[in-house]
Amino acid sequence: MLTGFERLRQTSSELVVAQEINRLLTDGLPLEEFCPALIVWICYNVSDIDSGLIFVREFSGEEFTLLDNYGVTTTMKNLGSGHPIVKYLKDRIAEEKTKSEIVADSEKITFLLSDMGTAEKLMLLLLIIETDLLGFILLLNRKEKEVYTPGITDLLNSITDQVARAVKSIQTRPLK
């Protein structure tokens, strides 16, 4: 249970996040610019996160394309439906588990990330509208075992809803 002060601080953080996402969206950026700006902003401004990746599915495709990463060296650019993390996330959606998940088991992290690096903890954020997986964000903490407070988790859950709507909006807006 959050104290009044903690809840006020969390609400303030959520407003800052919403404002930044709205600013990025109103800048009219294409996905290839919106996603890098977003992942860098998250890694700099949300405590407990030191690196991250963002994958987005082409509007009518099945593959997820890495649009940016921060603090991660990887050769993975496209993930098909057979990749462990894609299969895992689709299974979560089928089970109606659409909120973020924190993974602390090192074997599971290694399995899910494949050759995308390692972490002490991994947070999976689904960019989903209804049951349509538009993409996902992987946030890593490579230094500390005890991270991701309930406040951070709530904040990141609010981010995913906003980002999913932003991604859908960018994908469907007419080209200039």
Residue 28 has pLDDT above 80, yes or no: no
- Predicted pLDDT at 128: 92
- Predicted pLDDT at 87: 93
Instruction: Decide if 78 contacts 55 (C-beta within 8 A).
Output: no
∠25-125-127 over CA atoms, to 5°?
50
For the segment 72-93, the average pLDDT, to the nearest whole number, is 89
pTM above threshold 0.75: yes
For the segment 12-21, the average pLDDT, to the nearest whole number, is 71
Asked if the 4-172 domain carries CATH number 3.10.129.10, the reply is no
Question: Looking at per-residue confidence, does 4 or 63 come out higher?
Answer: 63
For the segment 5-17, the average pLDDT, to the nearest whole number, is 69
Partner residues linked to 101 by β-bridges = 124
pLDDT tier, 103 (very low <50, low <70, confident <90, very high otherwise): confident
Residue 34 has pLDDT above 70, yes or no: yes
How many Å apart are CA 23 and CA 102, to the nearest integer? 28
Instruction: Decide if 164 contacts 134 (C-beta within 8 A).
Output: yes
- Predicted pLDDT at 145: 59
